[in-house]
Structure 1
Amino acid sequence: MSTAGQRVKEVRKRRGLSQRELADASGVSLSTIRKLEQGERETARLETLRKLAHTLRVPTMRLAHGRNPEDPDAGTVDRWEAVRNALERPPVVLGLDDEVPTVSGVRAALRETEPLFSGDQFAALAVLLPPLLRDAEALGPEGRSVRVRLLQLAGWLMVQTRQFGAAETALERALDDAADRMEGAATVNTLCWLLLRQGELGKAYDLAVKWADETEPRMSRATPAELSTWGWMLLRVSAAAVRNSQPGEAEDALRYATAAAIALGREYAPENDFLRTFGPTTVKLKAAENAGVIDRPDMVLRIAERVPVFSLKPTSNNRNRHLLDVADAYAKTGNCADAFEKLEQIKAGSPEWLPNQRYARDVLGRVIGGRRTLTTEMRTMADAVGLPL
């Protein structure tokens, strides 16, 4: 755990202040600030830290103790605690006077909430999701289908926000209740993503291969939904393989996914399900991602030239991940201006998505690395992605 002095120094530099400027603005002596930052004093009186915190525009407790203040979630109430509780604890038994949820009512509420998932409205979901999960659980067997859909979305959200334990709980429950192979595959798609984010490459690969085999359609009469499902399983196979130094398997899986996309001929979302949107553009996005994984920025930029990224929704996570790949490629090839422009583009479209992306911090680090002075826009971006300066 960092000391109070280290936290003061990190936030001070992030704000672009010298030690003397901080002393003048806060009323704390320059000598005290120097001793704190140099480790000669382990901490300071709470009143001193309050003055520094007020000047640095952070809560006092960020300087006094706790996690690194540059952690984007530090010093804030854990917004996902209520969601985790709703997923992991049985619902409260309803009393005789309680209004009992209905399948039609919960389905309508879920339908109204889905745009918040596709639009990365995390703050709103943190409030609305817990009661919705409890209502869905209270439906019993007749509410199976709406409950599975809600658990799929909740699992995706928990992966997105790095709540991996809660994600696994939601997705395993959704998979247990899946009515058929297609519904199960929709859940497994996110399960594979969870395993990839956890670094469980072998497990992700084996699971994706298993379900790719089980969902492979007869191409001559495959439905769009079947092609989309199979295509996504192949993309997960490719993603796991390329990260696990299996280039041949990665290329093979991507080639089959391309065949599925060509057969579709367009971007297709089964039942308007944004999680399963698949087609030629999606495959190109994932091909660029693979190129980034193997450190081929030149290939990323070549593929990006053929991607109609502006046809995708600004909050599309596949689009945003692609823009990060492009930004990273620009940064690696020395084009920091265009790299920063891509970060700004993501921030404008998905301001709640960006802080959850450690990749964005890596990219911004490359953009500003070695610079002696930072622009106001760069400091603002560092705040947005949680990058210590």
Structure 2
Amino acid sequence: MPQWSDYTNGQRIKILRGREITQPQLAERCGLSVVTIQKAEQDKVLSLTTLLRIAGALGVDTSVILGQQAPRRAMSMDDRAMLRELSRAVHDSWVGLLPRTVAAPSADELRAAVDACWARYWEGHYAEAGAIVAPLLEAATAHRHEQPHDRQATAWGLISDAHRLAAYVANLMGARDLAYAAIGHAQEAAESAADNMRHALVTSGRAWVYLRDSRLKAALDLAEKSAVDIEPRFSRATPGELVAYGSHVNFAAVVAARLEKKERAKEFLSQSHAAGARLGEEIAAHGTRWGPVSATTQAVGVNVGLGRIGKALALADDIKDVSALSPAAQNRYSMDLALAQAHARQWDASLDTLEETLTKAPEWSRHQVLPGVIVEKVGRASTARLRRVSKLLGVSNPVTGGFDTATEKSAL
């Protein structure tokens, strides 16, 4: 399979344009003639002005067209455009550069917008969530500017929430530099808000960025700190405190499992189960959701990470109903189950689980690494159904899946 650098500039433009947009449509977006686009794709002429305009219209850096870096996997043109707009909003709003048309909504209106954005995120509509976050960042900043200097804590808290959302979307879609910038802004805003809970949530968010950047030890240190900072007294903890603690101590278990620190992972899992049991049902708070079903389904993935495949499958056998989970959490559980089945050499069962999720949630799936890991693992068994599942993933090589050879340790 050719590497991205093996193509010519013209071929890369044509690939990035894809089936979503015709040459005339690209020309219109660039403010160029169709002939200019044709010459660029035929490698006849590509001036600096044409390069910059085409890159902007396609939503990529010029380095991608020039073959100096590959485009992000499964990234559509709409995804790229969303990330560019999100990047602009993250950087510009932080230094106070706001469009003149931005209005300053009330704090209640901003809270409702944050909740709506988290809902889209946990439904697996990441591009839509990112599209909402960009104007949310600007509106939250405008709101803060209207508050007296000594009454800005609430506004800073909302800005922290918006930047944490931006970091989550960017991190999940592979825009690591943007994720680092946004989570850094979220941390500074949480400190200005003097809100210990928000600060701990941001710390856990930074740990997730570290995990996806393969900085595992630093991720574990931050994940543990976040869990300790918000550990409540169970006898008098509010539901919101239990949700935050349960979900974030579970994340600490995930990271510990990636580092093969089995005893610490088991200890964290025990605490996450205790929080879920105390809640008694799935409850949403602080941009996440937790409860007894979440604790059990998440434990499946942690046990796979620990190499306890029998334990993971036994837990899965006891899970009868996951409808209380968010769509994204349901999909993630299915991927953990498919991976456990692949480890157990239950090839057909693994492909059944994977194919069902890919068919049900194609938008969610294309932003995940784990489906490719599963395809690669099952591919070694040479099953007859593998090619169909690979096609759902949008890859041509059923053995490697066309993915970077990412290990399961970084496939969160």
Q: TM-score range by the shorter chain?
A: 0.7 to 0.9
1:348 matched to 2:351? The reply is no
Partner of 1:73: 75
SS at match of 2:290: coil
Matched, 1:102 2:130: no
Does structure 2 retain, via aligned residues, the 8 Å contact 1:204–1:236?
A: no
Asked if structure 1 preserves the Cα contact closer than 8 Å seen for 2:334 and 2:354, the reply is yes
Identity of aligned residues (%): 22
For residues 169 and 86 of structure 2, what CA distance do their matches in structure 1 show?
A: 10
Q: TM-score, normalised on structure 2? A: 0.69
Q: Which moved more, 1:325-334 or 1:85-94?
A: 85-94
Q: In structure 2, what is the equivalent of residue 266 of structure 1?
A: 281
Say if 2:366 and 2:393, in contact at 8 Å, map to a contact too.
Answer: no
Alpha-carbon separation, structure 2, partners of 1:329 and 1:217? 33
Deviates more, 1:364-373 or 1:221-230: 364-373
Between the aligned partners of 1:71 and 1:202, the Cα distance in structure 2 is 26
Residue 172 of structure 1 deviates from its aligned partner by 2.3
**Unaligned residue ranges in structure 2 (runs of 5+):** 12-40, 44-64, 148-154, 404-412
- Cα distance in 2 for partners of 1:325, 1:361 equals 13
**Partner of residue 147 from structure 1, selected from 159, 172, 176:** 159
Residue 136 of structure 1: aligned partner: 140
2:250 maps to a residue whose letter is: L
**Is the CA contact 2:186–2:202 (under 8 Å) kept in the aligned structure 1?**
yes
- The answer to whether 1:284 aligns with 2:296 is yes
1:141-168 CA distances to partner (integer Å, 9 max, x unpaired)? 5433432322222222122212222122
Larger mean CA deviation between 374-383 and 355-364 belongs to 374-383
The 1-side partners of 2:396 and 2:116 are apart by: 29
Task: Compare 249-258 and 137-146 and name the one that shifted more.
Answer: 137-146
Q: 2:334 aligns to what?
A: 323
1:282 to partner: Cα distance: 1.7
Q: 2:46 is matched with which residue?
A: none
Which amino acid is 1:102 matched to? P
- Structure 1 vs Structure 2 CA RMSD: 3.3
Equivalent residue, structure 1, for 2:86: 83
Residue 323 of structure 1: how far off its partner (Å)? 1.0
User: In structure 2, how many angstroms separate the alpha carbons of the residues matched to 1:94 and 1:76?
Assistant: 22
Q: Is the 8 A contact 1:227 1:260 kept in 2?
A: yes
Q: Distance in 1 between matches of 2:72 and 2:251?
A: 32
Q: What SS does the corresponding residue of 2:235 show, helix, strand or coil? A: helix
Report the Cα offset of residue 109 of structure 1. 4.7
Deviations 1:72-96 (A, max 9, x none): 238887231221121123353555x
User: What is the CA-CA distance between 1:304 and the residue it aligns to?
Assistant: 1.0
Q: C-alpha distance in 2, partners of 1:262/1:188?
A: 25
The answer to whether structure 1 residue 371 and structure 2 residue 386 are counterparts is no
| Displacement after TM superposition at 1:365 (Å) | 2.2
Q: Which residue of 2 aligns with 1:360?
A: 371
- For 1:363 and 1:149, the matched residues in 2 are separated by 34
Mapped partners of 2:72, 2:142: distance in 1: 40
- In structure 1, what residue type is equivalent to 2:254? A
1:375 and 1:362, CA in 2 relative to 1: closer, same or farther beyond 3 A? closer
Determine the structure 2 residue equivalent to 1:237: 252
| Structure 2 SS opposite 1:269 | strand
Unpaired segments ≥5 residues, structure 1:
9-44, 48-63
Contact 2:282/2:325 (CA < 8 Å) preserved in 1? Answer: no
Among candidates 229, 232, 241, match of residue 217 of structure 1: 232
Closer, same or farther: CA 246–77 of 1 in aligned 2, 3 Å: closer
The structure showing larger relative contact order (alpha-carbon pairs under 8 Å, at least 6 residues apart) is 1
4+ residue runs over 6 A deviation: 67-70, 74-77
1:87/1:298 Cα in 2 relative to 1: closer, same or farther (>3 Å)?
same
Which piece of structure 1 moves more, 210-219 or 100-109?
100-109
